């Protein structure tokens, strides 16, 4: 499969993943025009940023940040679609390195003990072949020199994609969708939860609550993008 992909790459020109223009083979993912359209959030240096505000009164977070602002029909939407559905897992590593360069300059995120991804339902992960936040999470875990605990959370129902649901429906559908894996003991530890896109925060809140039900923990959040 990979060999076939490599052979195809030898003969097919490298195209921008958003506008499909042919690009220089040394450029990653996007043409220059589309790269310039990427909107960086730059929230990592501030304590009370818009990501943290989403969770105010709902979950007590230590820190929260994101790399990009997500807009419909923008280059970031194309990249996240490729990451999620077409195996562009290298974008997860790329995004993690970009947010790490921000964290490096930040007074926050310096006490992380574990990195935990938002899980997919096992059936969905088998079908897709991977969890799209895994490389984003493992790259961050390597940076913090802490374990990446892939099975800390368990997705219990294989509910429909949230994209067509309104805000209330999303909250209801994810409310009890996650359980903490009792195998792990995170007592008094600082957990970093990672996800690809933050929208209403419903999924992340559900995951935080599942973990907090089992352990007394501190939680921070980093996502690749935030859909305003
Ligand atoms: Zn382009």
Ligand 1 midpoint to CA 66 (Å) = 23
166-208 tens-digit pLDDT: 666 666 666 678 999 999 999 999 999 999 999 999 999 999 9
- Mean residue pLDDT of the chain comes to 90
Ligand 1 midpoint to CA 25 (Å) = 14
DSSP three-state, residue 220: strand
Instruction: State the total domains in the chain.
Output: 2
Ligand 1 midpoint to CA 74 (Å) = 10
Concatenated DSSP letters of 132-184? TTHHHHHHHHHHHT--B-TTSEEE---PPPGGGS-HHHHHHHHTT-EEE-TT-
Ligand 1 midpoint to CA 22 (Å) = 8
115 and 193 within one domain: yes
207 and 177 within one domain: yes
Please report, for the domain that includes residue 222, its CATH number: 3.40.50
Ligand 1 midpoint to CA 153 (Å) = 37
12 and 46 within one domain: no
Smallest Cα–Cα separation from 109: which of 146, 57, 151?
Answer: 146
Smallest Cα–Cα separation from 196: which of 130, 139, 117, 98?
Answer: 117
106 and 209 within one domain: yes
DSSP three-state, residue 225: strand
Q: In which domain, by residue range, is 164 found?
A: 38-227
pTM, 2 dp: 0.89
Hey, which residues does 192 pair with through a beta bridge?
Answer: 115, 220
Ligand 1 midpoint to CA 114 (Å) = 36
43 and 11 within one domain: no
74 and 138 within one domain: yes
120 and 106 within one domain: yes
Ligand 1 midpoint to CA 35 (Å) = 7
62 and 24 within one domain: no
pLDDT digit string (tens) for the chain, length 228 residues: 556 655 555 566 789 999 999 998 777 899 999 999 999 999 999 988 999 999 999 999 999 999 999 999 999 999 999 999 999 999 999 999 999 999 999 999 999 999 999 999 999 999 999 999 999 999 999 999 999 999 999 999 876 555 556 666 666 666 678 999 999 999 999 999 999 999 999 999 999 999 999 989 999 999 999 998
Ligand 1 midpoint to CA 82 (Å) = 14
Smallest Cα–Cα separation from 213: which of 189, 179, 184, 188?
Answer: 179
Ligand 1 midpoint to CA 72 (Å) = 15
What Rg, from alpha-carbon coordinates, does the chain have? 18
104 and 8 within one domain: no
43 and 30 within one domain: no
Instruction: Report strand pairing: 114-117 vs 190-198.
Output: parallel
Ligand 1 midpoint to CA 221 (Å) = 30
């Amino acid at each position: 499969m990979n060999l076939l992909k490599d052979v195809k790459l030898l003969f097919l020109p490298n195209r921008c993943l958003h506008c499909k223009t042919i690009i220089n083979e040394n450029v990653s993912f996007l043409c220059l025009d589309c790269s310039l359209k990427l909107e960086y959030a730059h929230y990592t240096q501030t304590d009370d940023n818009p990501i943290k505000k989403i969770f105010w009164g709902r979950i007590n977070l230590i820190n929260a940040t994101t790399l990009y602002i997500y807009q419909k029909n923008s280059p970031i939407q194309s990249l996240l679609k490729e990451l999620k559905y077409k195996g562009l897992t290298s974008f997860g590593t790329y995004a993690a390195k970009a947010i790490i360069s921000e964290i490096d300059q930040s007074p926050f995120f310096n006490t992380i003990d574990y990195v935990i991804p938002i899980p997919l339902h096992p059936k969905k992960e088998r079908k897709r072949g991977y969890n799209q936040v895994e490389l984003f999470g493992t790259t961050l875990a390597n940076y913090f020199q802490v374990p990446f605990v892939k099975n800390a959370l368990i997705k219990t129902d294989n509910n429909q994609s949230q994209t067509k649901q309104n805000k209330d429906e999303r909250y209801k559908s994810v409310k009890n969708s996650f359980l903490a894996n009792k195998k792990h003991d995170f007592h008094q530890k600082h957990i970093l939860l990672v996800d690809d896109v933050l929208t209403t925060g419903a999924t992340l809140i559900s995951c935080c609550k599942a973990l907090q039900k089992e352990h007394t923990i501190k939680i921070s959040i980093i996502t690749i993008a935030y859909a305003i």
